[in-house]
């Protein structure tokens, strides 16, 4: 089964997503756990700097996201 993202304005199908299998989900969750363990070991100053950079990049491309 697939899921569709539909524009409420035009009814146009913007994207179609395939359902994730149980094994794919397990792989994704295992990767998230590894990333979390790495993230929590980083000093607070480094995490803050990374989040500020992410915010800067999002602001720089806000026109692309706010459609």
Nearest to 58 by CA among 50, 24, 26, 20: 50
Segments making up each domain of the chain, as ranges: 2-65
What are the contacts of 4-8 at 24+ separation with CB within 8 A?
none
Cβ contacts of residue 58 below 8 Å, gap of 6+? 65
Q: Give tens-digit pLDDT for 11-55.
A: 999 999 999 999 999 999 999 999 999 999 999 999 999 999 999
Residue 65 has a pLDDT of 81
Alpha helices in 1-67 (DSSP H): 22-41, 44-60, 62-65
């Amino acid at each position: 089964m697939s899921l569709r993202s539909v524009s409420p304005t035009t009814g146009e199908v913007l994207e179609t997503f395939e359902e994730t299998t149980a094994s794919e989900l397990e792989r994704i969750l295992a990767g998230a756990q590894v990333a979390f363990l790495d993230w929590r070991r980083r000093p607070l100053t480094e995490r803050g700097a990374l989040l500020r950079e992410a915010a800067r990049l999002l602001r720089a491309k806000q026109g692309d996201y706010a459609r």
